[in-house]
Structure 1
Amino acid sequence: MNKVRIGIIGIGAMGSNHAESLVTDKIPHAELTAVCDISGERLEWAKKKFGEQVKRFHNVDDFFNSNAFNAVMIVTPHYDHPSLAIRALQAGYHTLIEKPAGVYTKAVREMNEVAKKSGKVFGIMYNQRTNPLYRKVKDLMDSGELGELKRTVWIITNWYRPQSYYDSGGWRATWSGEGGGVLLNQDPHQLDLWQWICGMPKRVRAFMDFGKYHDIEVEDDVTAYVEYDNGATGVFITSTGEAPGTNRLEVTGDKGKIVIEDGKLTFWRLRVSERVFNREFKGGFGSPECWKCDIPIEGDNTQHVGIIENWTNAIRNGAELIAPGIEGIDGLTISNAMHLSAWTDRWVDIPLDEDLFFEQLTQRIEQSTFQKKQNDVGTLDVSGTH
């Protein structure tokens, strides 16, 4: 294959950025050949921006039946990711979805099963996996340099959003429009990186406020505690109502501690494992010798372009995916578990009860202000304003 011909479903804010990356040759051996959106205004924009050589479709059926491409990027509202990915994969197209993988794991699990049987290259836009900071932390963990995991803490509160942000679209911050708040809109990257680096927890206890800082129906403040199979623990704190916010990841193992903050990676490295020191030291007060190491970071943070290029290379020559689409369920599982824990006021084991989660989510969708508005007009907005 000389060039991967790509069609994009959803050319809102994010979809149009991906489209422009393709038409400006930022991704070698890839070209934009088609776009699809229910918004006539966005299609007119595409006509003016890309000309007649990029085909435009208002209807998804016509888009999939056009044979105008051999790979599809799905950049639509969250709920549509699994269903559109299933259609694309079953139609024989390589597929890349935006984050999150979906709103509830039950739908994402069905998508993953289709992907595994399709034989097509299936990726997800977890562009933070290209960040050399997080890649280095994963390397230190995977290599055993940090030792056995003991504790992990991520404070990610630099997502501040004013009320006007939420007022900009009736679908924003609603159960029926987005399926969640800060966890599902702002945090999918961090939840993915958290499990990518530290592994999946075995159970979750979460506390969250819904509309604490804003006039919205979904969560805008979350504190969650998790436990891992080996006894390690973790805390995840996030909010869209704090200014100034913090973005600090701290991972502690028995051989030291790693901190990422302000674009720097610092490793407090123990000369001997804390567990070994604890067993062998006989001097009363004391602690292992510790070296503070500023870890050099090499490589570019290629972000979205890097993920698209990697995906197209996987299609063309079998390159290993940085972010396989089937891994999108992992971060979403943690998010779903956090929601279910807060809704039911109890611990939630992982794997979680997917039927119970969907039941609880459905109740909230039915009471959602956006759903009521859509019922009044008899349609649900699925435009590509991601």
Structure 2
Amino acid sequence: MEQIVNIGVVGIGNMGSAHGMSLYKNKVKGCKLVAVCDSDEKRLQWAKSNLKGVKCFNDYHELINSGIVNAIVVATPHPMHPVIVEEACKNGIHVLTEKPAGVDVKTVAHMNQVAKESGVVFSIMYNQRTNPLYTELRRVFQNGDLGQLVRFNWIINNWYRTDAYYASGDWRATWDGEGGGVLMNQCPHNLDIWQWITGMPIRIRAFCHKGLFHPIDVEDSAEIFAEYENGAIGIFQTSTGEYPGTNRMEISGTRGKAVIENGKLTITLLKEDLMEYTKNSKEFMPKIDVDERTIIQEEPESAHIGILQNFSNAIRKGEPLLSPGEEGIYGLSLANAAYLSWWKNDFVNLPLDEDEYLHFLQSIKNSNHEKHIKTLCEDGSYGEYSNRWKVKW
């Protein structure tokens, strides 16, 4: 008989309830939802009404030690991710955590070490790694088809949010609850895809804007300028205050360029390396022959279900992980470095000085009397994957 993963979901708010419902409806092969956990009684009542026969806990310690699960999905507020992951790992329980991996690199590095020593399967919900356009661009870039990196640009400002969104939870848009704003909530996927394709830069300079569009004490707009070891430049722009916004990634290399926008990947390749052509050509402004091909994304990526299925397969069959949990530290490093650059008004080198970041973060927390929008809005999205989490061109 094929092994079945008895899985629990810790945190059944927006994302956790969606994961729980997918598991409950058997959309993930080889997995059975046996337990959920949340400290909010309202969420537990939702689970009792919608997830019949699933054990409900209000304490994650009890779920982990219950003996009824051999894997969990962690979908709590960000600071709790490493705490719960570490406890699960120490108890031999496989873990899939929501993004981001945590709120600071030092804590996440420790979590990664605990996970490695435990030997459990540890994954992170980087569902955009299942997008076929990003996957193909990564293959093309890492194969060297584009040559050496010259410039990376990503405008990803179609994350529009209303004040009601920020009012939907006290933990949202706070340094204590989320560890930041748009870079820590909306953009972990994008920061991951950036480094997943091009690798990590060596230093960055960032400009973040606190409460530019919403009455919050964290950034809702940011620009990151990055420098690579070979002198290449990266530019990343994002916000939650523009509509309809843009999602356009462009990579220029010495052998051509690639653009992802509006559901298609266009790859333009030169016949020879541009650096050689530049040195050898006798023409001032030549028109160079190129080969161009376009890949259209005709089917949606497998997204959250794809990562859950890969997690299940890794436990049952040893399938390689699409998004290993320890890789969550890279995108988080970009976010942490961006904040440190903002606070210091200076360039920040990578790898990040973990202790310096924690010092500044604590200073920001101490100096902020965080405001949060209070409304009576009711979050009724439990159990659904909203379009808000899909790749929107």
TM-score by length of 2: 0.92
1:307 matched to 2:307: yes
**Contact 1:37–1:58, Cα closer than 8 Å, also in 2:** yes
**Equivalent residue runs for 1:230-379 within 5 Å:** 230-295=230-295, 301-370=301-370
Q: Which amino acid aligns with 2:39?
A: I
Query: Match of 2:9?
Result: 8
Structure 1: distance between partners of 2:81 and 2:370 = 19
SS of alignment partner, residue 295 of structure 1: strand
Q: In the aligned structure 1, how far is the partner of 2:174 from the partner of 2:368?
A: 6
What letter matches 1:189 in structure 2? H
Render the CA deviation track for 1:363-383: whole Å, top value 9, x for unaligned: 22234445999xxxxxxxxxx
1:300, CA displacement in angstroms? 5.2
Asked if 2 retains the 8 angstrom alpha-carbon contact of 1:174 and 1:368, the reply is: no
SS at match of 2:178: coil
Which whole-Å CA distance do the structure 1 matches of 2:262 and 2:296 have between them? 14
Tell me, yes or no, if the aligned pair for 1:171 and 1:370 is still in contact at 8 Å: no
1:215 maps to: 215
1:17-32 counterparts in 2 under 5 A?
A: 17-32=18-33
Q: Deviations over 1:41-76 (max 9, x none)?
A: 11121111122x311111222112101110011000
Moved more, 225-234 or 191-200: 225-234
Alignment length (residue pairs): 375
Separation in structure 2 between the aligned mates of residue 371 and residue 363 of structure 1, nearest angstrom: 17
Q: Secondary structure at the match of 2:226?
A: strand
2:135 aligned with 1:116? no
- Deviation, 1:288, is 2.6
Structure 1: give runs of 5+ residues left out of the alignment.
374-383
Is 1:56 the counterpart of 2:56? The answer is yes
In 2, Cα distance between equivalents of 1:292 and 1:133: 15
Q: Report if aligned partners of 2:215, 2:371 keep a CA contact under 8 Å in 1.
A: no
SS of the residue corresponding to residue 208 of structure 1 reads: strand
Measured after TM superposition, the shift of residue 212 of structure 1 is 1.2
CA shift for structure 1 position 271:
1.6
In the alignment, what sits opposite 2:165? 165
Shift of 1:39: 1.1
Confirm or deny: 8 A CA contact 1:6 1:34 kept in the other structure: yes
Matching residue's letter, 2:76: T
Rounded to whole Å, the distance in 2 between the matches of 1:242 and 1:324 is 32
Partner Cα distance (2:72, 2:243) in 1: 38
Q: Tell me how far apart the structure 1 counterparts of residues 84 and 188 of structure 2 sit (CA, whole Å).
A: 19
Q: What secondary structure, in the 3-state scheme, does the structure 2 residue paired with 1:311 have?
A: helix
Q: CA RMSD in A?
A: 1.9
Structure 1 stretches of 4+ moved >6 Å = none
> Which amino acid in 1 is paired with 2:9?
I
Q: Is the 8 A contact 1:176 1:371 kept in 2?
A: no
Alignment deviations for residues 148-187 of structure 1 (CA, whole Å, 9 cap, x no partner): 1111000011111122222233322111111100000000
Counterpart of 1:257, as a letter, is K
Q: Which amino acid aligns with 1:122?
A: F
SS of structure 1 residue aligned to 2:235: strand
Calculate percent identity across the aligned residue pairs: 48
- Structure 1 position 214, deviation (Å): 1.3
CA spacing shift, 1:335–1:288, aligned 2, 3 Å: same
Contact 1:204 1:337 in 2 (8 A): yes
Q: State the shift of 1:297 in Å.
A: 5.1
What is the rounded CA distance, in whole Å, between the counterparts of 2:317 and 2:369 in structure 1? Answer: 47
3-state DSSP of counterpart to 2:319: coil
The answer (yes or no) to whether the contact 1:210–1:217 under 8 Å persists in 2 is: yes
Aligned to 2:39: 38
* C-alpha contact 1:277 1:287 (8 A) present in aligned 2: no
Name the aligned partner's letter for residue 285 of structure 2. Answer: F
Conservation of the 8 A alpha-carbon contact between 2:216 and 2:370: no
Q: Structure 1 CA distance, aligned partners of 2:305 and 2:334?
A: 27
Distance in 1 between the 2:287 and 2:108 partners?
47
Greater shift after overlay, 101-110 or 286-295? 286-295
Q: CA deviation at 1:295?
A: 2.8
SS at match of 2:33: strand
AA of the residue aligned to 2:124? I
Deviates more, 1:129-138 or 1:220-229: 220-229
Matched to 1:40, the amino acid is E
Residue number in structure 2 paired with 1:136: 136
Letter in 1 for 2:51: F
Specify whether residues 353 and 284 from structure 1 end up closer, same or farther in structure 2 by C-alpha distance, changes over 3 A only: same
Deviations 1:90-141 (A, max 9, x none): 0110000000001100110000000111110000000000000100100101
How far apart, in 2, do the equivalents of 1:191 and 1:34 lie? 32
Corresponding position of 1:225: 225
Match of 1:188 in 2: 188
CA distance in 1: counterparts of 2:284 and 2:12, whole angstroms: 65
TM-score normalised per structure 1: 0.93
- 2:167–2:372 CA contact under 8 A, matched in 1: no
Contact kept, 8 Å, 1:11 with 1:42, in 2: the verdict is yes
Q: Would you say the 8 A contact 1:174–1:369 is kept in 2? A: no
Which deviates more, 270-279 or 320-329?
Answer: 270-279
Taking the aligned partners of 2:334 and 2:259, their CA distance within structure 1 comes to 22
Residue segments in structure 2 that go unaligned for 5+ positions in a row: 374-381, 384-388
Relative to structure 1, the CA distance from residue 167 to residue 43 in structure 2 (aligned partners, 3 Å threshold; closer, same or farther) is: closer
Partners of 1:285 and 1:174 in 2: CA distance: 52
* 1:287 positional shift: 4.1
